[in-house]
Amino acid sequence: MTDIRADRVFRRATVLGAGVMGRAIAAHLVNGGLDVLLLDVAATEPIPAEAQRGLTAGDRAVRDRLAREAIAQLARTRPAPLFAPRLAGRIEPGNLEDDLPRIAQCDWVIEAVVERLDVKRALWARIDALAAPRPVYSTNTSGISIAALAEGRSPEFQRRFLATHFFNPPRYMHLLELVPCPRTDLEVLEAITAFAERRLGKGVILAKDRPNFIANRIGAYGVMRGVQLMQEQGLTVEAVDALTGPLIGRPKTATFRTCDLVGLDIVVHVARNICEAAPNDPEIDVFAPAPVLERMVAEHRLGDKTSAGFYRKIAGQGGESVIEALDLTTFTYRPKKKERFPEIDALRAKDDLGERLNGLFDAKGAGAAYAWAIVRDCLRYAATVAAEVADDVASIDRAMRWGYGWDLGPFELWERLGLARVAARMEQEGRPAPTWVLEHIRKGAPSFYLRDESGALRTLAVSGSGTHALPDRPGVLTLRPASTGVRWIEGNSGASLWDLGHGALLLEFHSKLNTLGGDAAAMAGRAVTRAEAEFAALVVGNEGTHFSAGANLALLMMAAVEGEFDEIDLMVRQFQQMTMGLRRCARPVVVAPFSLTLGGGTEVTLHGDSVVAAAELYMGLVEVGVGLIPAGGGTKELYVRMLERLGPGADPKEAARLAFETIGMARVSGCAQEARELGLLREGDSIVMSRDQLLERAKTAALELAARGYVPPPPRTAIPVGGAQTWALLEIGLHNLLAARRITEHDRTIGRKLARILSGGDLPGGETASEQQLLDLEREAFLSLCGERKTLERVQHMLKTGKPLRN
C-alpha cells in the first residue's frame, strides 16, 4: 500500500521535458490550479545574446534557457494553452541537471521527454534514486510499453508509476488515457483519475498496456486504411476529406487536414510503432506506411509545422491566400478542388448522424462506396482489437469521441446501423465481423449497450459472453444515454424537459448549434410552469457541442426581408418573456453554460439566479457583430450587473460605460474566469473544470438553493439610470471613435441605439427606470435596427459565412 489516497491533494507538479507536450501539459496543470516546475535539458553554452549580457555557461539563466523559452512560447501559441497569459508566472523554469532533487517537494511528476525508451528509462532511473518523499510518477508516452519503462525500478517507484497519455493540445483535447504498469497501486490510479477529471476537466479512460493504447491504435488504423482505400479507388485527398468529416460524424478536419495539424511525422511514427510492437495484429499490413506517406515525410511535407503537407496555403495573384492540395500521383500542389458526389449531397442535409449513416449504407456511387468502406473497416478493426486494448466497448467509444472528436464511437455507430445488418453486409463483402460480435448477435443481443433490471447501463463483454458494468464515472450525469433516475418528460424541435431526479427539472436546448427560436422559448415557458408546480428547482443546460450560439438569425432574417416587423416584435417579446420568466420563476434557476454561449445564450445565462459554468466558456453579447443589440434582456441585465459590481451609490454613467464597452466591442471571454472579469459571470458563480460534471454540479447547486429556502428576486422597479449625462458621455465616445476611424458609420448608428437603452431613454439625469422600461427600449432599438439595410447585410453575411461583417 502507498500513502496515496484517492482524494489526495495535488498542489505542485514537476514536468520533465519542455517540448510541444511538456510545456502544454504544464500550462494545463496551471489552468487546473497547480504550481509547476518545468525542467528540460541544461543548456551548456551561452548563446551570443547571453554572452553579450556577460552570462557564462555556469549561470542559471543559461542553463534553464530551454524551459524558460518554452514558457515564453506559451503566450504565442494558438490555440492558447493557458486560460490567461498571466498564469505563465506559475510555471517555474529549471533544468534536469540542477533541479531534479526538487521533485521531493512535488505531488506529481509527469515526464514528457523524447519518445525513446532508453532516454525515458535513464531519466526515471535517476529519479527513482532520489530520496523520499515520493510523488506520483507518470510518463506521457504515446506508445512505449509502460511495463518496459517500469522494469528495473524499485517497488516503491513502480507502485506510484503509470502512463498519463494526454492528447495534443492538452487544454482542449478531452481524452486522457491512463495505463497502469503491472504493480501500480489502485489508490494511485484512483487519485489521478479523480484529479484529472475534477481539476483538469479530462475524460479519463483506463487503457491496457498495448502499443499506442486505445485511441491512437484505432485512429492510426483509420488514417492508414483511408490511404489504402483512397489509392485503390483512385480518389483525391480532397475527396477523402469530403467523405470522412461531418458526413460520418467526424471533425471537419476529416482525415488529411487532421494529419496536417498533428504532423505527418507523428502519424507515421505511430503507425510504425504498431508494426514493430504489435507484429501479430491481424491487420498489420495496413500499418506499413504507404510509399506516398514515406515520401512526404522524407520531403518534409509534414503539415502545418513545415507549412506544407496534404494541403498548403500560398499567396494568390491578388494577395489573397489560396489553398492547394497535394496531388499524390504527380506529387505537385494544385488548387484545392471541391469534390462532389451526387449520392452524398442529399445526405449532408440531414442533421441526424444516424440518418446520414443509414442513407450512406443504402446509397450507390463512388463517394458512398468509399465512405461506407472506411466506416465498415474502422468498426471491424475496433471490434477486432477490442479485447486486446480495453475491458469494455464503452472505453473504446469514449476514447474515439474524446480523443479524435468522433460524434459517436465505433460501437455506438454500429448500433445506429443495426448490429446484425452491419455484420451481414460485412460477411457479404468478404470482411466478416469478429467472432465475439457474431456470437452476441446469434444470442439475440440488439445492442452493445443494455439496461439491467435496475435500469443501469451495461455493455456487452468484448470477449466471451455476458455483459460488463459500464465504467463508473462519479459526479457525471448524462442525458444520452440517460443516467439512472433521469427521465425525458416532453419536448419540441428546439428544447426538451427532463426530470433529473431529487426534484430537479432540466430545460435542455437541442437545435442545431442550439440556436434559440420560438420553440425553445415556448419550452422555457413550460419549464417555468412545471418547475413551479412539480419540482423544487430548475436547471438550464445541455450536452451539445455548444451551450447556445444565440438567437435563430435565419428566422429573423426571413421576417426582416419580408418587412414583417410585427413578426419581429413578437419574436423579441417571446425572447424577453423567456428570459424574464426564468428570472421570475418561483423556483431557483441555475444555468450551466459551456463552450460557445453567445448572444441569446448569454442572455439566458444572465437571467439565472446562479451559474455553474464550464471553465471552457466563450461567452459574450455579440449582437453588434450582426448589426443588432441584445434585446432579450441582455443589455438591461449587463447594465444592472455593472451597477451591482460598482457597489452602493454607483455612478450610473460608469456602469453604462462598462456595459457599453463590453456589448459595443462584442467582447467574448476566452475562458470562464475571463467571463467573470468581463462581468458576465458574478463572483458567486461557480466554475467547473469538467464539462462532464457540469449538469450534476448545476443540479446540486439548484437543489441547494431550494433547500436554503429560495425566495425569487423582487421586480426591479427603480434602476438608477444616468439619462442625458450618460447619453452625452457615450455619444462623445462614439464621435471620437468614428473620427479616429476605429468604427464605421453603421457601428455608430448601433452604438447610439445602445447608448439610448443604457442611459434610460429620454430621461433627464439622476432618475430611475423599471426593468420593463429598459426591456421596451431594447425592443424598440432592435426593431429599428432590423429596418437598416446594413444590419441585414451583416446578418446575411453571418448566416452565409459564420463570420461578422464590418460595414
Which residues sit at the interface with ligand NAI, rule CB under 6 A?
A: 17-22, 40-41, 66, 96, 112-115, 119, 123, 140-142, 166, 168, 266
State the nearest-atom distance from the C-beta of 400 to ligand NAI, in Å.
16
End-to-end, the C-alpha distance of the chain in Å comes to 67
State the nearest-atom distance from the C-beta of 522 to ligand NAI, in Å.
46
Q: In what order do the strands lie in the sheet with 457-460?
A: 449-451, 457-460, 467-469
Q: Got the DSSP string for 745-788?
A: HHHHHHHHHHHHHHTTTTPPTTEEE-HHHHHHHHHHHHHHHHT-
Closer by beta carbon to ligand NAI, 115 or else 567: 115
Residues in contact with 241: Cβ distance below 8 Å, sequence separation at least 6, in sequence order: 253, 254, 255, 256, 257
Closer by beta carbon to ligand NAI, 100 or else 230: 100
State the nearest-atom distance from the C-beta of 412 to ligand NAI, in Å.
25
State the nearest-atom distance from the C-beta of 64 to ligand NAI, in Å.
12
State the nearest-atom distance from the C-beta of 146 to ligand NAI, in Å.
12
Angle, CA 759 vertex, CA 754 and CA 762 arms, to 5°:
105
Question: What's the CA dihedral at 279, 282, 288, 291 to 10 degrees?
Answer: 150
- Going from the C-alpha of 299 to that of each of 264, 272, 293, 308, 309, the distances in angstroms are 11, 18, 10, 10, 10
355 in helix, strand or coil?
helix
Q: Which residue is associated with the grid cell 440531414?
A: 350
Q: Which residues of 94-133 are buried (b: 16+ CB within 10 A; e: fewer)?
A: bbbeebbeebeebbbbbbbbebeeeebbebbeebbeeeee
Closer by beta carbon to ligand NAI, 164 or else 773: 164
State the nearest-atom distance from the C-beta of 692 to ligand NAI, in Å.
21
Closer by beta carbon to ligand NAI, 401 or else 546: 401
State the nearest-atom distance from the C-beta of 407 to ligand NAI, in Å.
22
Closer by beta carbon to ligand NAI, 141 or else 673: 141
Closer by beta carbon to ligand NAI, 141 or else 602: 141
**Exposed, middle or buried: residue 220 (CB in 10 Å: 0-12, 13-18, 19+)?**
buried
Closer by beta carbon to ligand NAI, 16 or else 688: 16
- 680 with 689: CB under 8 angstroms? no
**In the complex, residue closest to ligand NAI by CB:** 19
Taking the C-alpha atoms of residue 393 and residue 458, their distance in angstroms, rounded to an integer, is 10
State the nearest-atom distance from the C-beta of 250 to ligand NAI, in Å.
18
State the nearest-atom distance from the C-beta of 65 to ligand NAI, in Å.
11
Taking the C-alpha atoms of residue 140 and residue 165, their distance in angstroms, rounded to an integer, is 5
State the nearest-atom distance from the C-beta of 141 to ligand NAI, in Å.
5
Closest-CA residue to 309 (of 287, 330, 331):
331
State the nearest-atom distance from the C-beta of 118 to ligand NAI, in Å.
9
Phi, psi of 180 (to 5 degrees): -75, 155
Closer by beta carbon to ligand NAI, 164 or else 459: 164
Taking the C-alpha atoms of residue 621 and residue 632, their distance in angstroms, rounded to an integer, is 11
- 248 with 357: CB under 8 angstroms? yes
Distance of CA 537 to the CA centre of its chain: 28
Closer by beta carbon to ligand NAI, 20 or else 61: 20
Closer by beta carbon to ligand NAI, 96 or else 694: 96
136 has which bridge partners?
A: 108
Closer by beta carbon to ligand NAI, 63 or else 676: 63
The verdict on whether omega for the bond into residue 446 sits within 30 degrees of 0, i.e. cis, is no
Helix (H) or strand (E) holding 326: strand 321-327
Closer by beta carbon to ligand NAI, 46 or else 720: 46
State the nearest-atom distance from the C-beta of 39 to ligand NAI, in Å.
9
153 in helix, strand or coil?
coil
Taking the C-alpha atoms of residue 549 and residue 622, their distance in angstroms, rounded to an integer, is 10
Look up residue 689 and give its amino acid: M
Question: Rg for the chain (alpha carbons), in Å?
Answer: 28
Closer by beta carbon to ligand NAI, 14 or else 673: 14
Taking the C-alpha atoms of residue 604 and residue 154, their distance in angstroms, rounded to an integer, is 56
Closer by beta carbon to ligand NAI, 42 or else 513: 42
State the nearest-atom distance from the C-beta of 121 to ligand NAI, in Å.
11
State the nearest-atom distance from the C-beta of 335 to ligand NAI, in Å.
30
Closer by beta carbon to ligand NAI, 177 or else 391: 177
Closest-CA residue to 753 (of 627, 575, 665, 619):
627
State the nearest-atom distance from the C-beta of 781 to ligand NAI, in Å.
48
Q: At what angle do helices 771-786 and 565-584 cross, to 10 degrees?
A: 150
Q: Which residue is associated with the grid cell 476605429?
A: 742
State the nearest-atom distance from the C-beta of 583 to ligand NAI, in Å.
45
Taking the C-alpha atoms of residue 56 and residue 46, their distance in angstroms, rounded to an integer, is 6
Closer by beta carbon to ligand NAI, 212 or else 602: 212
